[in-house]
A and B are shown apart, each in its own frame.
Chain A
Amino acid sequence: MSYFRCAEFRLAVALLALASLAAGCGVASTGSVYFGRVIPPEGQVMRYVTGSEIESLDPQVGTGQPDARVYQALYEGLVEYNPKNTLPIPAVAERWDINSDSSEFVFHLRKNARWSNGQPITAKDFVYTFKRGLSPELASRNAYLAYYIKYSQGYNTGGSFVRDPKTGQFVLEREVLEEVIKAGEAATSRAPEGENPAHETQFHKFIHEPTRLVLSGDETERAGQLAANPKIEAAIAGKELVPVKADDLGVEAVDDYTFRVTLRQPAPFFLGLMAHQFFRAVPQKTIEQYGEAWTQVGHIVSSGSFRLKEWIPYDRLVVERDPNYWDAATVKLDRIIFYPVKDNATIMNLYKAGEIDGFLNHTVPAPWMDHIRPLRDYMDATENGNDYYDFNVRRGPFTDKRLRKAFNMAIDKVAFANWRQTVKPLTGFVPLGIFPGYPNPKGDEFNPERARQLMAEAGFPVTKAADGTWACKNFPISEVELTYNPDGMNGQIATFIQGQWKQNLGVTVPLKSMEFRTFLNVRAKGDYKGIARDAWGGDYMDPFTFLNLFYAGAENGSGWHDPKYDAMLDEANRTSDPQKRYELFAKAEAYMLEEQPVIPLDTPSVNWMKKPYVKGMYPNPLTLHAWKFVYIEHDQAKWDQGTPSMAE
């Protein structure tokens, strides 16, 4: 005990306190309109933190956002994301034709597109890229994005056509599938207008033949297919199975510079999807020569505006301007250095010390927000994503829609968003304000009175105690839990929402925290009691990337599906008028919201920073940056004085 009384100890404590005080003053007294040091790097070099370590340099293998941003430097697809609104702009394809119901896309490639080794990029390269991405051997996690391409799902999952060995005739979908019979299958049979008659190839005729039936490659799934539809069982008797091959896919190099994609269904959003990393050109020769090692320095051949210079995993990844790139004159940066850093405070420190020029989204920690938000280098804009809670509609008390609605209405989402600071409140499911023209339907607003009424109707009356608090005595609290993974703010958010229910419904829902992958497993299987945390980041810029989550076959945490909802989405996707299509989507969304399988909570803000001298970089809804437009501005007069204008 004598240590605590001695003078030295007191001196040490005083010194430490002084040191932290000095440090604290450092933060508060900078007085700058920017965060930390603002000293542009010499020349045209961008230093960027892209988040956790990337999985791979193969754009068809890596699935994360950090990876996607690196791929945007190294690989180019048919189209690229517009840096401001992430809608598609020309890339390797200089223009394209789309048929009237958006089920066939013809891309006209520019003739001067080059690989980093100087070889031309042709339509054959895209055929290879698409077939490779969908091959079961690659087992790409993103392959599902390409399932709109005709026969791609069958190929990717080892499915088979059914052929009569005597006549050579294939069993067709329209002979056995009710929904196809109803829809009339007229949709997928037209080529874009004014197309060159010379493009009418043998393959094109084949791909526009009535759709063949594809049986699942999985034994149990196939048995299920047969059991569910007696017509199939009858139709395939005595027939042989012919595996779907890569050559059956609806992709074709009509000539060296014309690439044609035929879809199994109308998909107006497909063009935007073509900017996704999964569809960016990868080099056939290099991959065939080196196998998995093709992405190593020395082997790699890339298609983008930059080429790989150095990669030390977990340390840095350096790319340099590629002189072979078709639009090299536009590219201003000589080099981009990507740093993999995961810890948010560390990223903020690097940025403040002027060691990096920008960083990824969702990074500024909530406690820093009061200090950071007023600064001019803070990027604040709506993201293509949402946060929500799933109700388990498979079992438990929330099979009752009235309870689902009550629990949703008992949350004051405006107060929630004000408390979180980096989000906007959301009552619907599709994020607000990022799809111009989309008439977002409104979900139920905060209404504790009505919520208590619904509780009573469901048999759980909420009564007021003498002290003014609410109580619900008979609610089966042991059958409900709020399950979440404790990463980021999830714990605090769960506590906030728990408080809302306690305050407005008199129900204290127990919280249950689980390690991330354990949680994902539990949520996917529906093994949680009542309520689970969930979120979605859109794959492309169309409301369908959100609405699709509840479509047949898609897995969503709540387990809610409805054939009527599926039909509404199908109808919308068959509609060629974009505004009409949006309206039909909105109708479907309103229908889903009425069923309340989820509690929409918020749309997050992108929440990242860049130094004012970094130009050509915008807080777009996907936080994906076309690096070819980014540059370092050394003239201080031209620096950004706030969030750069997003107007076109």
Chain B
Amino acid sequence: MFRFIIRRLLITLPMVLVIVTLTWGLIRLAPGNFYTGEKRIPPAIEKNIREKYGLDKPWYVQYGKMMSRVLKGDFGDSLTYPGQSVNQILWRTLPVSATLGVLAYLLALAVGLTFGTLAALRQNSKIDYASMALAMLGISIPNFVLGPLLVLIFSLTLFWLPPARYGGFPSWSLVMPVITLSALYMAYIARLTRSGMLEVLRADYVRTARAKGLSEKQVVLRHVMRGGLLPVISFTGPALAYLITGTVVVEQIFAIPGLGNYFLNANFSRDEPLIIGIVAFLAILILVFNLLVDIAYGIIDPRIRY
């Protein structure tokens, strides 16, 4: 187990570097530059800008410069926001996105697991139908519909909650973004829990557990849950990484100063250091969460050994 973790961590670094290289190449391929805008700038001024940012150097010099910075953990300064370093931006926006993401994750887990379990244990009952119908809605209503719908009801009709903007943690401003963000995940978790548990409920080892006289509570908690939750775990690991970093739509709708907004705009504005910084960060996060998922597998599922 220990060796497995070390091995995986050792692979992570080169993988991040490959991802950074690919990203860098893709930005080069994209037409347009960070300084191009609807207002055309004269070629002489374009030249000044290219000199200032070293864009007049050959590509391998630019790549080398970028890599040596990234290896030192410094992603450089943003191009669209001069004077702000990428590291600064990451440290400022991550807590905001993470607050939103973790809350949405916890909400999704709590609601999804509860209803999924209940639905599985009472298959074909009213509670099963009701929760699966809601789950279906959760999956099929996109968050750019759900968000404005909530705003319409709770901010513009009832005037209970602020329609947008981030008020810190804890604050009422979090309620609608968190619900909007978690709806899809809630629904997925409920469905995954239900189907995973249903499968396990019919498994031989559960029959054995029942046969040897364990109470229903013990059967569910110790045997059914452990097996039934495996699909949920493999889903929620990366999901947490996405929730923390990839909340673009919700951040747009609710004007939240998180990482997602920056990521989206960095791409539109060809802000190379910022794109690379966020991609590298996202890659590390996803690799780490996948590793955590694999470790969790080993603990929960007695059939898996590393």
Interface residues of A (CB under 8 A from B): 2-3, 6, 8-9, 12, 16, 19-20, 22-23, 26-27, 36-37, 52-53, 55-56, 58, 61, 63, 136-137, 139-141, 143-144, 153, 156-157, 216-218, 292-293, 295-296, 312-315, 339-343, 345-346, 349-350, 352-353, 355, 515-518, 520-522, 524, 535, 537, 553-556
Contact = CB atoms under 8 A, between A and B. Distances in A.
Give the interface centre of B92, B130, B166 by most chain A CB atoms within 10 Å: B130
A173 B129 CA distance: 87
Instruction: Sort A-B residue pairs by CB-CB distance and give the 4 closest, nearest first.
Output: A517-B32, A314-B257, A26-B157, A157-B44
A346 B166 contact: no
Contacts of A517: 30-33, 36, 268-270
B37 to A, nearest CB: 7
B39 interface: yes
8 contacts: A19-B153, A141-B35, A153-B44, A157-B47, A515-B268, A521-B31, A524-B40, A555-B42
B267 to A, nearest CB: 9
A315 B41 CA distance: 30
A375 B270 CA distance: 40
A518 B30 contact: yes
A253 B83 CA distance: 30
B270 A36 contact: no
A139 B164 CA distance: 37
Interface stretch (B144-152, B233-241, B296-304): B144-152
Interface string B210-239: 000000000000000000000000000000
Contact of A341 (B52, B126, B164): B164
Contact of A521 (B32, B137, B155): B32
Contacts of B155: 349, 353
A517 B268 CA distance: 7
B45 A8 contact: no
Contact of A353 (B49, B82, B162): B162
A36 B156 contact: yes
Contacts of B62: none
B106 interface: no
B13 interface: no
B149 A23 contact: yes
Interface in B169-226: none
B159 interface: yes
B264 to A, nearest CB: 10
Contacts of B165: 315, 339, 341, 350, 355
A22 B270 CA distance: 43
Interface residues of B, number: 64
B41 A144 contact: yes
Contacts of B262: 314
Interface of B: 30-33, 35-45, 47-49, 51-52, 77, 80-84, 89, 92-93, 124, 126, 129-130, 132-134, 136-137, 148-149, 151-153, 155-157, 159, 162-166, 252-255, 257-258, 261-262, 265, 268-270
A313 B81 contact: yes
A136 B119 CA distance: 68
A140 B153 CA distance: 46
Contact of B83 (A292, A343, A518, A554): A292
A521 B162 CA distance: 40
Contacts of A518: 30-32
Contact of B48 (A136, A345, A350): A136
A176 B153 CA distance: 73
Contact of A314 (B33, B133, B261): B261
B153 A23 contact: yes
Nearest to A516: B268
A609 B261 CA distance: 25
Contacts of B136: 3
Given A312-B257, A341-B165, A350-B163, 5 more contacts: A2-B129, A22-B157, A141-B39, A346-B254, A535-B38
Contact of A343 (B84, B126, B253, B257): B253
A343 B265 CA distance: 12
A520 B157 CA distance: 42
Given A9-B129, A136-B48, A313-B81, A345 B159 contact: no
Contacts of B148: 345, 349
A166 B55 CA distance: 39
Contacts of A554: 40, 42
Contact of B153 (A22, A144, A537): A22
Contacts of A314: 93, 257-258, 261-262
Given A23-B156, A63-B37, A520 B32 contact: yes
B44 A26 contact: no
Contacts of A522: 31
A349 B165 CA distance: 11
B176 to A, nearest CB: 11
Contact of B133 (A3, A19, A292, A345): A3
Contacts of A218: 44, 47
Contact of A156 (B32, B45, B51, B89): B45
A26 B83 contact: no
Given A312-B257, A350-B164, A517-B31, A12 B137 contact: yes
Contacts of A144: 41-42, 45
B161 to A, nearest CB: 9
B210 to A, nearest CB: 27
A592 B34 CA distance: 32
A56 B133 contact: no
A340 B257 CA distance: 9
A56 B78 CA distance: 11
A23 B93 contact: no
Contact of A355 (B77, B133, B163, B265): B163
A157 B48 contact: yes
Contacts of B47: 157, 218
Contact of B80 (A55, A139, A312, A537): A55
A12 B36 contact: no
A63 B40 CA distance: 12
B152 A26 contact: yes
B247 to A, nearest CB: 13
